[in-house]
Structure 1
């Protein structure tokens, strides 16, 4: 076990926030710069750091923790109620468009697995959107709630599809579907047991007493949940990321008011994830990025705008379903742009696809590059639309007769 390469990876992770702080007017997401830094320092350019066994192991754990944090961001209140129908219509449109785009690219001989490409296009980077919506003061507005609901549905669908159809550990889709139903039953039992345990006065008092001591009992129980469900997912023939994602969703479901009742708990989880494990995943993804395959020929480079347009079509066009919610034209356009913002699941899908020979390195590199472009370009274009619609709504309220 060597720490040499890991030191460099962690140094990059620590240096990126300082670089971003030096140019505050450039709203570049941290994960983008972490991946770019990994590309520059890795074998593709300077060859100063290698993805050895230690780095790769922590990178895999970082990916799982990233998916756990994504599951923790899911707002189940947005997946039922009056807006659920609109979110469902948008998701149905996304899945239909993803299938059409995937098979169309396959028919044109541009991709190897239309199902993998379609699955990668379904997701939205929920963890990146929530801070953007908070900064725009849009989280509690109808447009923000619909975007979060649509992003949550897309994230769930992409992770489930990825685990259902692309795994190194199981057989046909039919058996995986049965195993997925078994996993769903197990998760239901865990949710019910956790809720009943939460009603125990003694257990609740013990958790409160131990939460902020050296025991850090909430964090320890969370790690048991993440690793336990990841292990179960692996034994059932799925990718570990499915178990980690479900762990986040379970925790959000059984403890929906954690940010109000014990706010330090989520801060601790975010510190462990975004302070250590998740940056290792993004930097390592850059180190392993096949820059040579991306620039091997002009045709491969041209696939970047092709995949970027596919993201906008698959995730952006279904935002038209939100018109019946009374959103303005600007809010609908902003919803489409933000829902088309995707990176983590694309990186996960291409990583798994490369292991299974379901995607060529050139297409994997182009798809990841399109994801990088989406998290830079689409939020920059969406924020002015959100701010303009909010100012217009405020002026309309002020001009109303009293």
Structure 2
């Protein structure tokens, strides 16, 4: 059936919007639903979508490029640097062993050497689908986990290079000269992309500063020029897209530009790629073909066994324990991004058959489910490095210089929340000594003499006069400030920087909805651009009446220590009792629970000996319900404000913090560090270490 392009596009949008939501309600991955929708709507189903459609081809190709670009963008280069030698070692194991195994599988089923090596390269890569699990469990600092994360760079690049060589050999006459020419072109091309675009990106971002629209377009230009350049030298465009992701990884960091780039891909182009992939699947033909069934089983057994053998080699060479080995195996098991992209390229080039394509899709479904399940069972018992020792080297206060007076900026817009915000800031600076800066931002107009602007300024002055009265009432120094700026966010961030603020205390605002998701909201934007931490508050009672505070702690990190420090200052000013809550899975071993309790007690006794702090570790598989239940006996819950993470292939977002805030019945404070704040602290530490290691102190870092 031939449909107008606009009709096909409307069908795709409907599928992308509805199908993942339906599957996720049944606890199934949304991308599986997209594949099934492609099967149902394609030439082997209802014939509503045609894989030969130029519109679908274009959108799917963009999705394919986007998928590999995001894969490169999500790789943590800093973690790779920490254990790069062992990461390369394990990367070699988990690349070569599956590569050889896959090649043997290909030869067993009658494929030529070129196609067999390509099948082996499909085994070699892996996707870190279980990253959110290990992050939640707080075991990322375990060496085996860090090594596996770093190995992703090696396996993905290696498998894509093998793909490039195999496709080039398939498309032209093979000779040693042509192979050397291709490899030399790849080396030169990779250097240009990795170093040239990295330098160009830094320069462009430095010159454009806050022009996020232009920066977004620049990143898109880098992606598609890199993809085009790859095809010019005779390799697949997904190789260029992946290298582009690595090149701009450090340039855009984890800022708003990255979120917008990934968002566009994850909600539109990447889902279309999965739907198009489903169009290629012939389920009846696959079921009828006995040989394809045996090939699928061979691919499954070969992949699972070879990844296990690679993890076993790493255990023997680096002397990891069995639990670490199983975790490494489970983390390297899922085959999604690079594997699917390379399979589709090989299939379109005529190197791989439909049986291999079907087998790899089954492989993706099995490993994407099995890998995270095994990780969730094996990772909780891993032992990590002593994070409290790291915390001793981190800033336990928010001030750059602890000898300076504390400055808290309080943006005031709502008369109903103004009193509680000023009181919160007053309680914090009483103990630390300092000043409160009530800030009223008036958006600029084209004409500075406009009546609207004059009216806004008068309203701001009324709010600030009230703030001055509240300052006298609470006995703190207040320095009101009216600012005219291009927008609320710019005004808050610019004024806070000029006042050298150590903390921003803000009232609650909308954090959900289509507009907030697409363009961000005031709170998100302040967090992205602010130079200091931000406390976002929803206070149901006067801050001085708070007597019990609950602090959920996911894992022992430097950020967690700073949250506890914030709570400790507030609690001492109010003589409040603090409860540190850690929620672990029900299957967590008693040893892991005891270790977490001991670490929390050590944290409290070492850094906050005078605070009234209780330790509570709960075993529950429902994190939200556990925190909500514990909050019923508290006046205030303090949470870390965490940015939503968009994982490859995921269409829907899950945000535990949003769910807690929506249901909680007491006051809430979200304490968020701005994007780049931790990175800047880390860079400062490195500078100090390099310049004078023997003089490194808490105050200097």
- With structure 1 as the length reference, what TM-score do the two structures score? 0.85
Bigger mean CA deviation after superposition, 183-192 or 341-350: 183-192
Paired position in structure 1 for 2:68: 67
Say if 1:381 and 1:363 are closer, same or farther in 2 by CA, change over 3 A: same
How much has 1:43 moved relative to structure 2? 2.3
How much has 1:162 moved relative to structure 2? 0.8
Paired position in structure 2 for 1:336: 329
Aligned 1:239-278 pairs, distance under 5 A: 239-252=236-249, 254-255=250-251, 258-259=253-254, 263-278=255-270
The CA deviation string for residues 216-271 of structure 1, in whole angstroms up to 9 with x for no partner, is 1111111111111111111111111111111101011x42x722xxx211110111
How much has 1:64 moved relative to structure 2? 0.5
Paired position in structure 1 for 2:354: 361
How much has 1:318 moved relative to structure 2? 1.1
Would the aligned equivalents of 2:20 and 2:33 in 1 still touch at CA under 8 Å? no
Paired position in structure 2 for 1:163: 164
- The reply to whether residue 319 of structure 1 matches residue 329 of structure 2 is no
Aligned equivalent of 2:338, options 321, 333, 345 = 345
Paired position in structure 2 for 1:123: 125
Paired position in structure 1 for 2:11: 8
Say if 1:395 and 1:317 are closer, same or farther in 2 by CA, change over 3 A: farther
Say if 1:316 and 1:218 are closer, same or farther in 2 by CA, change over 3 A: farther
Q: Within 2, Cα distance between the matches of 1:173 and 1:381?
A: 45
Would the aligned equivalents of 2:68 and 2:341 in 1 still touch at CA under 8 Å? no
Which segments of 5 or more consecutive residues in structure 2 lack a partner in the other structure? 384-587, 603-701
The CA deviation string for residues 297-353 of structure 1, in whole angstroms up to 9 with x for no partner, is 334223323211111123232122443656442232122022011023332233222
Would the aligned equivalents of 2:75 and 2:246 in 1 still touch at CA under 8 Å? yes
Root mean square deviation, CA, Å: 2.8
How much has 1:194 moved relative to structure 2? 5.1
Which segments of 5 or more consecutive residues in structure 1 lack a partner in the other structure? none
Structure having the larger proportion of residues in helix: 1
Bigger mean CA deviation after superposition, 40-49 or 373-382: 40-49
How much has 1:196 moved relative to structure 2? 5.1
- The reply to whether residue 114 of structure 1 matches residue 111 of structure 2 is no
Paired position in structure 2 for 1:178: 181
Q: Within 1, Cα distance between the matches of 2:340 and 2:202?
A: 40
The CA deviation string for residues 4-35 of structure 1, in whole angstroms up to 9 with x for no partner, is 22222221111133214423xx2x33222211
- With structure 2 as the length reference, what TM-score do the two structures score? 0.51
Aligned 1:181-330 pairs, distance under 5 A: 181-189=184-192, 191-193=194-196, 204=205, 206-211=207-212, 216-252=213-249, 254-255=250-251, 258-259=253-254, 263-323=255-315, 327-330=320-323
Paired position in structure 2 for 1:45: 45
Would the aligned equivalents of 1:91 and 1:153 in 2 still touch at CA under 8 Å? yes
How much has 1:396 moved relative to structure 2? 4.2
Question: What is the number of residues matched between the two proteins?
Answer: 386
Bigger mean CA deviation after superposition, 232-241 or 357-366: 357-366
Aligned partner of residue 343 in structure 2, secondary structure: helix
Q: Within 1, Cα distance between the matches of 2:75 and 2:106?
A: 32
Paired position in structure 2 for 1:85: 85
Aligned partner of residue 5 in structure 2, secondary structure: coil
Q: Bigger relative contact order, structure 1 or 2, given CA contacts below 8 A and separation 6+?
A: 1
